Each structure stands twice: as C-alpha cells, then as structure tokens.
Amino acid sequence: MEENKEEVVSKNFIEQEIDKDLAEGVYDHVQTRFPPEPNGYLHIGHAKSILLNYGLAQKYGGKFNLRFDDTNPTKEKTEFVESIMEDVKWLGADFEDRLFFASNYFKEMYECAVFLIKKGKAFVCDLSAEEIKEYRGDFKTPGKESPYRNRSVEENLRLFEEMREGRYKDGEKVLRARIDMASPNINMRDPVIYRVARMTHHNTGDMWCIYPMYDFAHPIEDAIEHITHSICTLEFEDHRPLYDWVVKECGFENPPRQIEFAKLYLTNVVTGKRYIKKLVEDHIVDGWDDPRLVSIAALRRRGYTPESLRMFVDLVGVSKANSSVDYAMLEYCIREDLKLKRPRMMAVLDPVKLVIDNYPEDTVEYLDVANNLENPELGERKVPFGKELYIEREDFMEEPIKKYFRLFPGNEVRLMNAYFVTCTGCEKDGDGNVTVVHCTYDPETKSGSGFEGRKVKGTIHWVAASAAVQAECRLYENIVDEEKGKLNEDGSLNLNPNSLRILKNCYVEPSFVRAKAYDSYQFVRNGFFCIDCKDSKPDHLVFNRIVSLKSSFKITK
C-alpha cells in the first residue's frame, strides 16, 4: 500500500488526470501531439512542451503526433516548417509516420462550419473587426448581439458559400459561432470562427480564400487525430470552454480533453518572436540560430545536447503556476551532461609564447595524455611537446599579486602532463607588452615518471607552437544586460554590448584538425566548446563556448 501511495505522489498533476481518465474508461489509450504554428523558430519553452507531450505518450504506451497548426498564412513559411521538424527530431521526440498539417483538414473544418450553420449555431456577420470588438463588451459589461445574428439558416449558408467563392473583400464578412453574448467568458461571446483572407498558403496554395480561426480549428484537428489529452499552456485555460463547445457541437464522439500547464520562463532571455525578428533584421544577431538566443536551433548550434535539455525539463517539472527559472540551471545541465562524455583538451585563447631555453632544439616529444581523468573509458591521446609553446597570457605576471601561483620570475610550475619549469624572465615590445616568456625545465620531473621530489602549487596548460592549429573562439554572454533588466523604458531590449567576444588568434592541439560540426570538448580551464556548424571550416576552425567552468581564481583589475 505504501509503495502505491508513493508512486501516486511522485506523479505530476497531468499524469494523475490521465490515470483517472483511464481508470474511469473515458479513454482506453493515450495520444498526444505537439502542434506548433510554423511562424518562427522554436525556443526552450517549446522544448518543454515537446518533451512533455512525447514523454506522456511514451509513459502510457501511446502515440505522439507532430502537427503544424498552419491556419494563418500571413506569417507561415516552409523554412519554419523544416526547422521545427529538425528540432523535434533532434530532441528525440519520435512522431514516426504521424506528421500532420491543419491545412490538410480545411475541407473537414469547412464542413463543420456548415454543420454549425445548419444547427443554428453559426452565422455570417457583416460587422467590422472594430465593431465586433466594441459589441463584445468587457469583463464588467455584457456584449451586444450583432444585428446579423438572427439571419436565417438559408441566408447564412448562401453567404458562407459566397465567402468561400471569393465574392467578398478581406474583412468584409466573417462567420461567427452563435453562443452567448452575456457569457462572463469573453471568448464565448460569439467568437469569429472563419474570416476572408486572400493569401497564398504554404501548403494549399490558392485553393482557399477563407481560413478558420485557431480556436475553431485546433479542437477539430485534435478530434480528427483522436487525440485524448490536448496538453497546452495556461493562456489557453480561458479558451477551454470554447474548445469543449466546438468538439461537442460538431458532434465528435469521445472528444479530446484539454489540460493546461505552466509555461517555461527563463530569466533574462529573449523568446518573443517580435524581438528576435528585429534582432535578426537589424543584424545584431546572425540569424534565428545565433548562439546567444535560446531557440532550439541556437542552443544546438552553441553545443547544447538533447540530453541536457531533457535533464533541464525534468528538473523544472510540471506545474499549474507560472514561475521563472534561472538560466544557471540550464548551464548546470549541460555541464553535468558533458563532463564525463567529452575529452579534456588543451587550447590557448589569449596566447603568449613560452620558450624553454634548456630544452633541445628541433626535438618533439609525444606525451601520453588521458582524454578525461574522470572517465578512463575515453582512453588516451598523443600530444606533441617541444621547446616553444603557447600559454595563456594570464598565466604569467612579471609582478605577481598575492596568492598568484602561476608563472613569474623565479617561480616553478608544472606544465600540464609534461615537466616542471622555472620562469627566468620575459621579452617585451616597444609598448611594454610581454611577447615571450623564458623558462628552464627539469627533465627529471616528467609527468608519469614517478618523480616524488619537490611540490609546486601551480599547473598551467599549453600548446606546442610547432604543431599548434590556429583557431577562432567565440565567447558568449547573455544578450540581455542582466544588471539593468530585460527591457528599457520605451519597451526596447536592453542589450549587453559584450554578449559576443571573438578571439581570432587562439591555438589548439593538432588533434582538433579532425573535428567536425557540433563536436564538443572541454577546453582545460576555459570551459566547454563546440565546433560551429555554420562558419567552421577544416582550414579555419571556429569554436563556440557552450558554457564556462567555475573558475578557482579570478584576476581582478
């Protein structure tokens, strides 16, 4: 008994409702769907909906559909259809052969509208959009009936057919459901269910000049596909009575049930399509998949994995109350996913040359280096080592600050996986910038040799100059200025001027020459990086920083 009780408590409220429906025989199976409108790229919030709907179907041995709610051709493009399909597949939500388009049901929707007219439940209205809004009233005032509300069934059928034949201008006439103008729910005050719109549709071309409204089309789509549970976000809660009215009045048997859950909100990110569109058009970002955005395509390009997004969605959970999640949680998930899976490689982002004065000329050693000390299964690789190396500029200080344990004149450090070296001095250019650091090495201290002599406090990474591969690294921060907030007083985005920093003269190990798009690595001390899928070429590697590592030391200026 206790085990059963524990199992029920661990389920979210949607699963509890599904359990109840199955137990009471309301449904004998579970079928869910993800129904995006193809008017933009999907973002992190959509990932939650995709994984929730797919996860429910999986848990109950049911089926999952992908369906495009393409009832508004003004904003829809084939580009968006293709990007959404790619995103859903990448997340691992397998819709098998169940790919559908709302536009494929336009004939059935038209027949449903005619059916409602014949029942006296729909009428053609000549009021303008402004007049309809005025007649609707508000939360304190009941609506007024349209003067066209009591047209005869015959007249409504004739006018609706003429609408379909293209005899009226856009906006000249609409078809409205005949429900209740005194309803406390404004959505039930004779909503528009069809409008005239002469637009070429991405799927049906110019076959139709009238299009159904979303609130009318969506429940019909669900019913046609035998969806059992229509899982949607909280803003549709007030639309549920209309959803139920449509499937009931259209005569669908065993209709689907709508259940609402809270949207996923991330702090200080841009998800609004209007804002992203402007960022793209103003060339502030290089497209909908710019790694500073949180579209699924952008997260994929930056180097996030499906596993990390699934972990994130699981941690966020499912609730009925809207709340915001800190972006740091998403970063935690990608770190957790990659830390044991990816090799830890050496890359120098801000290089300065290190010369080991007493190392033999024209000698190259190949050192055995573990790919990931925490995961021996990733094996080892050979890394070249020689007289001249590149190290990070911040790993040398001519005049060290307190508790600085890296290179400075007279100090000894370990070169990672190699030898102890002692700094002997440096060279500078005419402006006083350090150009070369000099040191000597102790050949007895080779890593893995069993040396047990003196200890050093600092270890630094490096890349052999003779074999180094030059690369470009892109360091990202939030595109929104987190300290000042997301929006300015005029409603525009408060952008972070440092959201992208491009380092063009980085050096990486020669092992990277085999890297391909989306391959990801941990750069020692610098974070997790991914090969950019757009701009990286075999002769010009471009890395995106996915997420930084927690630094044990930070130089403050």
**C-alpha–C-alpha distance, residues 490 and 297, integer Å:** 29
Give buried/exposed letters for 252-283 (b at 16+ CB in 10 A, else e): beebbbbbbbbbbebebbbbebebbeebbeee
| Category of 359 on φ-ψ map: left (φ > 0), alpha (ψ -120 to 50) or beta | beta
Contact in structure between 379 and 343 (CB atoms under 8 Å) = no
d(C-alpha 291, C-alpha 281), whole Å: 16
Distance of alpha carbon 295 from alpha carbon 496, whole angstroms: 18
Token look-up 């497209």 returns: 287
The answer as to whether 188 is a domain residue is: yes
Instruction: Spell 42-71 as b/e; 16+ CB within 10 A means b.
Output: bbbbbbbbbbbbbbbbbebebbbbbbbbbb
Residue 4, in any domain of the structure: no
What's the 3-state SS for 241-274?
A: HHHHHHHHHCCCCCCCEEEEECCEEECCCCCCHH
Q: What is the DSSP letter of 213?
A: -
| Parent domain of 136 | 117-211
Contact at 8 Å (CB) between 466 and 366? no
| CATH code, domain carrying 189 | 3.90.800.10
Residue 473 forms part of a structural domain: yes
Contacts of 124 (CB under 8 A, 6+ apart): 148, 151, 155, 156, 159, 160, 163, 173, 174, 175, 176
d(CA 230, CA 30): 10
Q: What is the dihedral of CA 249, 253, 256, 258, to 10 degrees?
A: 30
Q: Which two tokens stand for residue 539?
A: 């002769």
Say if CB 192 and CB 176 are below 8 A apart.
yes
Residue type, 524: V
In a domain, residue 84? The reply is no
| Phi, psi at 7, each rounded to 5° | -65, -40
Segments in the chain below pLDDT 50: 1-2, 5-8, 551-557
pLDDT computed for residue 307 by the predictor: 98
- In the β-sheet with 520-523, what is the strand arrangement from edge to edge? 344-345, 520-523, 527-531, 541-547, 469-476, 500-508, 347-348
Q: What is the pLDDT of residue 352?
A: 98
Q: How far apart are CA 533 and CA 378, in angstroms?
A: 24
How many alpha carbons lie under 13 Å from residue 315 in its C-beta half-sphere? 18
Token readout for 261 is 């859950």
pLDDT of residue 553: 37
Domain boundary, last residue among 211, 241, 261? 211
Q: How many domains does the chain have?
A: 2
Q: Where are the beta strands (DSSP E) in 200-350?
A: 210-212, 229-233, 257-261, 264-266, 323-325, 344-345, 347-348
Domain boundary among 180, 211, 242: 211
CB atoms near residue 485 (< 10 Å) = 10
Predicted pLDDT of residue 9: 53
Query: What is the distance in angstroms between the CA of the first residue and the CA of the last residue of the chain?
Result: 62
Q: How far apart are CA 259 and CA 321, in angstroms?
A: 13
Answer yes or no: is 266 within a domain: no
What's the CATH number where 532 sits?
Answer: 2.40.240.10
The answer as to whether 107 is a domain residue is no
Which of 190, 211, 232 corresponds to the end of one domain? 211
Sequential DSSP letters for 387-435: SEEEEEGGGB-SSPPTT--SB-TT-EEEETTS-EEEEEEEEE-TTS-EE
Q: Max Cα separation, the chain? A: 102
Q: With respect to residue 147, please indicate whether it lies within any of the assigned structural domains.
A: yes
Residues contacting 281, CB < 8 A, separation 6+:
none
Tell me the two tokens of residue 240: 């549920």
Same domain, yes or no: 370 and 517? yes
Assigned token pair, 15 = 């699963």
* pTM score: 0.90
Report yes or no: 263 and 322 within 8 Å, Cβ to Cβ: yes
266-to-43, 291, 322 alpha-carbon distances in Å? 11, 16, 11
**Is 434 exposed, middle or buried (CB count within 10 Å of its CB: 0-12, 13-18, 19+)?**
middle
